[in-house]
Amino acid sequence: MKLVKQILVFAILVFSFKSYSQQVIDRVVSVVGGNIVLESEIDAQYNQYLGMGYKAGQATRCTILEDIMYQKLLIAQAAHDSLKVTESQVDQEIERKMQYYIKQFGSVEKFEAYNGKSVEAFKADIREKQKEYLLSQQMQGKITGELTVSPTEVYSYFNGLNADSVPYINSEIEIGQIIRKPEVNQELKQYARQKIEDVRKKVVSGEMSFCAAAGSYSDDPGSKMTCGLYKAIQRGQFVPEFEAVAFHLKPNEISDVFETEYGYHFVQLIERRGDEIDVRHILVAVPNAPADLLKSKATLDSVRKLIIVDSIKFCEAAAKYSQDKDTKNACGLMVNPQSGTTLFEMDMLGQIDPALVFTIDNLKPGDISEPVLMQGRDSKQAYRIIYLKRRTAPHKANLKEDFPKIQEAALAQKQQKVIREWVNRKLTTTYVSIVDDYMSCKFENNWSKAATKK
């Protein structure tokens, strides 16, 4: 059982497009500390493995059962330790996942057609499982959250690997960028302002519902497909101008139009819970004028030439000319959100920004691309130049080049050991039962032994 990865597996189970609640509930397969494991839970995850093309058999079902029993043990201990998750935490996580999944389908309608139920009904189906997931995640963090590995432990871990166990590292790249955004065109700004004022009038008059208006007119990709809804907003999550308006509304009140760096907005307050709110929101971004975009491109052309003739280093140019606040003060280097480093595998980069893959395809280390058109997180167009700092060749891991990855693996091994010890210690005092046809499973921990002592 790959214990450190179990939370991720559980998340897939919780948010599978067709929740296991749609399956026939056969029987109780196991009980762990008062928490039951249903056959349908095992079936749901087993069918996902098959659907992803994996070959599976009874051994896979046994592994799935052990994974789920581990989650139930975490949940039982969380209850014992009085750990809590708030309803707003559950709401926030569900909303985040739902926005992602609806985006994959392309629309709320397609998502609902696939699942045979409304988004709200689907949320209700998975709510309890999501709460359990957050509790188990919190409990696992309590067990392993303080663990670290020293350099000595990293060296010891790596030197203890068999030659066949040393991981193979795919080719990685390190890239920088300088972004220039077009100046705001006042005529287009006025156009956007008038457009959103007209939309607001339709909503306020009842000519169009807020949901329909968001779907038809909003330029916010994060909310337009969910009726403009953002749930469980806390102070500090949105830009100050947005929060200044949203947190001062009364329930169901619709704000006047206001401006932020993203464009023009209006907001409706749905519910307030202390310092936390649910709102609906519509954004109309200010479009770019082609001539203004070309000015940005011309600026980057000049900057690129200066770098190429060595009049300025890329790092200095990023600090001086880039308008990307996330990278300009870091020599323009992009950070991988998964690893926290500046190295990307090409597949990972393709998931984050597919256009970048095409831009750097023909670059050599040290090359700088021509200015290329891009779309920022605010959905506005801009130009950027890309610097390929280095490209590593595929290789077997070594301590000199891959210390962070080896450190991560060493920490994972240490976490697995601590979790395994915790599980087996808790099984001596926790009620466990397993139906007879699963008692023959070869579990990694002492589940069968604990079940015989019930």
- For each of the chain's 454 residues, which pLDDT tens digit applies? 443 344 334 344 444 445 444 444 479 999 999 999 999 999 988 988 887 777 788 999 999 999 999 999 999 999 999 999 988 888 888 887 887 777 777 777 788 888 888 888 888 888 998 999 999 999 999 999 889 999 999 999 999 999 889 988 888 999 999 999 998 888 999 999 999 999 999 999 999 999 999 999 999 887 888 899 998 888 888 889 999 999 999 999 999 999 998 899 999 999 988 778 999 999 999 888 888 899 999 999 999 999 999 999 999 999 999 999 899 999 999 998 877 889 898 888 877 788 888 899 889 999 999 999 998 776 678 999 999 999 988 999 999 988 988 999 999 999 999 999 999 999 999 999 999 999 999 999 999 999 886 5
| 35, 117 Cβ separation under 8 angstroms | no
Query: What is the token pair recorded at 142?
Result: 């309590």
Q: Contact at 8 Å (CB) between 235 and 243?
A: yes
Q: What is the CATH number of domain 3-150+406-452?
A: 1.10.4030.10
Q: Which residue has tokens 């569900």?
A: 94
Q: Are 280 and 267 in contact (CB under 8 A)?
A: yes
The rounded distance, in Å, linking the Cα atoms of 35 and 78 is 12
d(C-alpha 264, C-alpha 363), whole Å: 39
pLDDT score recorded for residue 39: 93
Q: Please choose, from the candidates 177, 93, 78, 189, the residue with its C-alpha nearest in 3D space to the C-alpha of residue 135.
A: 78
Domains 172-183+289-396 and 186-284 share a fold: yes
Q: How far apart are CA 267 and CA 196, in angstroms?
A: 11
Give the residue extent of every domain in the chain: 3-150+406-452, 172-183+289-396, 186-284
| Phi/psi at 195 (5° precision) | -60, -45
Best CA proximity match to 179, nearest among 391, 389, 347, 380 = 380
Say what the pTM is: 0.64
pLDDT of residue 284: 94
CA angle 435, 438, 444 (to 5 degrees): 125
Predicted confidence at residue 223, as pLDDT, reads 87
Class at the top of the CATH hierarchy for domain 186-284:
alpha beta
Radius of gyration for the alpha carbons in the chain, expressed in angstroms and rounded: 26
Q: Looking at the DSSP assignment, which residues form a beta bridge with residue 175?
A: 388
- The tokens for 355 are 């256009």
How buried is 416 (Cβ within 10 angstroms: 0-12 exposed, 13-18 middle, 19+ buried)?
Answer: middle
CATH of domain 172-183+289-396: 3.10.50.40
Q: How far apart are CA 106 and CA 126, in angstroms?
A: 21
Q: Structure tokens of 442?
A: 């070869």
Q: Can you read off the two tokens belonging to residue 186?
A: 């006042």
- CA distances, 270 to each of 14, 90, 91, 350, 425 (Å): 27, 17, 14, 37, 47
Nearest by Cα to 334 from 155, 178, 120? 178
Q: Whole-angstrom Cα distance, residue 227 to residue 216? A: 10
